Amino acid sequence: MEPELIQLSPLDAHNQTLAENVHPPRWQNPTASKPYHLVVIGAGTAGLVTAAGAAGLGARVALIERELMGGDCLNIGCVPSKAIIQAARVAATVRDAGNFDIGVDGNVTADFPKVMERMRRLRAEISPNDSAQRFADMGIDVYFGQGSFVDGNTIHVTRKDGSLSTLNFRKAVIAAGARASAPPIPGLEGIHYLTNENLFSLTELPQRFGIVGSGPIGCEMAQTFARLGSEVFLFERSDRILSKEDKEAAAIVQRQFERDGVRLMLNSQDMSVAAHNDGRIAVRVKQNGEYTETVVDQLLVAVGRAPNVDGLNLEAVNVAFNCDGVEVNDYLQTTNPGIYAAGDICSKYKFTHAADFQARIVIQNSLFALGPFGKKRTSDLIIPWATYTSPEVAHVGLYDHEAQAAGTEYDTYIQHFADVDRAILEGQTDGFVKVITKKGTDKIIGATIVAENAGDLISELTVAMKNNIGLAAIGQTIHPYPTQAEAIRKLGDQYSRTKLTPFTRKLLNALRQLNVGS
């Protein structure tokens, strides 16, 4: 048996997607006569980490991918989006240079085709990390095609040319991910619209750009395209953006959107779309009881995800699934105990870093559960996340409303960046760090940060939660001055001041008098 290896070719200025080499190299498979210890379906983050980790620990591993190595994150998600977000941030920084008494002659414009060309070039530079060749070099057998379960020990891989490979396994991991799906908007099936799967193939900047949904993807792209020069209309059913985030945090981002020129179409109900007579797209919504129509050049639908369960033949192996994905227990086992799942296909946390750590759990539980470390639980993971707007919004643990709903009593500590020297010097005072602790203690149970680099700052609080480090210890830890991270240390000082009861003050005053006199 010879699995087929397809090396991903680098992107050039004209390519829209990563392509397969038409003459793929091949290699002999010395272990094909034996069942694989682990067969992994899907070469996104969860699948790649699972395969690499298991192979590194001596397991015989097969990796199946039906499309592109690297999954959404590399090809149509984190990597391309952050590349163009950074370009937009630079454009905004230059436009705002006058706030720092720096003169910029002429208009600041973005060369959108070159911005997208840069994104594809950088994506190509990163892609070898996820290439089939790299994983083959680890001793992993890489198969390209549709993986489909035959029974509890057999998987078929059907290639695009119709040829078939049969793989025998002891354990399997479903890491096939999820894809963009659109809500049932009347007229949507009759127009060409964008999702994250084709957004990064654009080569011309839309003059008028409509975006449906103000979750993380919708918000990131709304601000980015506005800063790159589009007139952006952001349609949202609720009365605010980022409705799942802290209300005060979302309000700060919303104010920045207004400064960036994003047209916020909040409370948009009863939406329908239609092809306009000039080839553009008409979006009709009801706001405050009245219908309005907005005509745009392109429409991005940034709501909805669907699990990639099609073609897997999960019924044949008694793996239960629903519209949200594959059903798993706390150990990431499916309803078939010999088959596991990880990543977007089974998790409510659809983040690359969450998929990474779920993959580590799968390796432990599928191959080494009887060892000295036992089984690992997903409920033990503390998962932070960030939305990469400007400013960024990052969160970990519980929100206030979640603590209230759970009946958890808590204390709240807030440090605004308006009182942090580094933020003042950098003109980034519109933000805060909020930490909630278990009532009467310094035990951190949740945190939200709004700042330009909130995604980096949240890690300190995540480490603290993971290792049961309280606010008091953070306050006693020296932070460099001046940094924005000093805002987190100041929260430790806030907590310590709450311990200064009247009795404590009297005791300290008495000790002072004993040492230095009255």
Q: pLDDT tens digit string along 442-459?
A: 999 999 999 999 999 999
In a domain, 85, yes or no: no
* Helical H segments across 341-442, by residue range: 352-367, 400-405, 421-425
In a domain, 1, yes or no: no
Check which CATH number belongs to the domain holding 57 and give it: 3.50.50.60
Based on the fold, state whether residues 219 and 319 are members of the same structural domain: no
Question: 58 and 141, same structural domain?
Answer: yes
Q: Quick one: 405 and 497 in the same domain?
A: yes
88 lies in some domain:
no
Sign of CA pseudo-dihedral 37, 338, 44, 396: negative
| CA 319 to each of CA 173, 338, 342: distance values in angstroms, whole numbers, following the listed order | 12, 10, 14
Give the integer Cα–Cα distance in Å for 435 and 428: 20
Q: Please give the tally of structural domains in the chain.
A: 3
Do 249 and 204 lie in one domain? The reply is yes
pLDDT tens digit at each of 518 positions of the chain: 334 333 333 333 333 333 333 223 333 343 456 899 999 999 999 999 999 999 999 999 999 999 999 999 999 999 999 999 999 999 999 999 999 999 998 889 999 999 999 999 999 999 999 999 999 999 999 999 999 999 999 999 999 999 999 999 999 999 999 999 999 999 999 999 999 999 999 999 999 999 999 999 999 999 999 999 999 999 999 999 999 999 999 999 999 999 999 999 999 999 999 998 888 999 999 998 999 999 999 999 999 999 999 999 999 999 999 999 999 999 999 999 999 999 999 999 999 999 999 999 999 999 988 767 789 999 999 999 999 999 999 999 999 999 999 999 999 999 999 999 999 999 999 999 999 999 999 999 999 999 999 999 999 999 999 999 999 999 999 999 999 999 999 999 999 999 877 776 676 577 667 776 66
Question: What pLDDT digit, counting tens, does each position of 465-506 carry?
Answer: 999 999 999 999 999 999 999 999 999 999 999 987 777 667
Distance separating alpha carbons of residues 479 and 240, to the nearest angstrom = 35
| 6 domain residue, yes or no | no
CA 267 remoteness from chain centre = 26
328 and 289 share one domain = no
Residues 209 and 61 in one domain: no
Look up residue 480 and give its two tokens. 């460099």
Enumerate residues 6+ apart whose C-beta is below 8 A from 124: 10, 11, 12, 18
The CATH number of residue 438's host domain is 3.30.390.30
Q: What is the DSSP letter of 497?
A: H
Same domain, 228 and 314: no
167 plus 216 within the same structural domain: no
- Whose CA is closest to 419, among 498, 497, 491, 476? 491
Residue 467 forms part of a structural domain: yes
Please spell the DSSP secondary structure of 468-494, one letter per residue: T--HHHHHTS---SS-TTHHHHHHHHH
- Where does a domain end: 245, 279, 300? 300
| DSSP label at residue 8 | B
Domain boundary among 380, 400, 435: 380
Query: In this structure, are residues 177 and 72 in contact, taking their beta carbons and an 8 Å threshold?
Result: yes
**26 is a domain residue:** no
Residue 101 falls inside a structural domain: no
| Six-digit token string for 303 | 């709501």
Helix (H) or strand (E) holding 219: helix 216-228
Domain co-membership, 52 together with 155 = yes
Boundary residue ending a domain (327, 360, 380): 380
> Does one domain contain both 228 and 257?
yes
The reply to whether 294 falls in a domain is yes
* Residues 350, 429 share a domain: no
Q: At what angle are helices 352-367 and 45-56 packed, to 10 degrees?
A: 40
For 249-268, the pLDDT digits (tens) are: 999 999 999 999 999 999 99
Give CA–CA dist 15/11, Å, rounded. 6
pLDDT, tens only, 217-253: 999 999 999 999 999 999 999 999 999 999 999 999 9
Considering only CA atoms, give the Rg of the chain: 26
Ramachandran bin of 406, using left for φ above 0, alpha for ψ from -120 to 50, beta for the remaining angles: alpha
Check whether residue 351 and residue 486 sit in a common domain: no
Domain limits for position 192: 188-300
Return d(Cα 447, Cα 116) in angstroms, integer.
Answer: 35
Rounded CA separation 487/458 (Å):
11
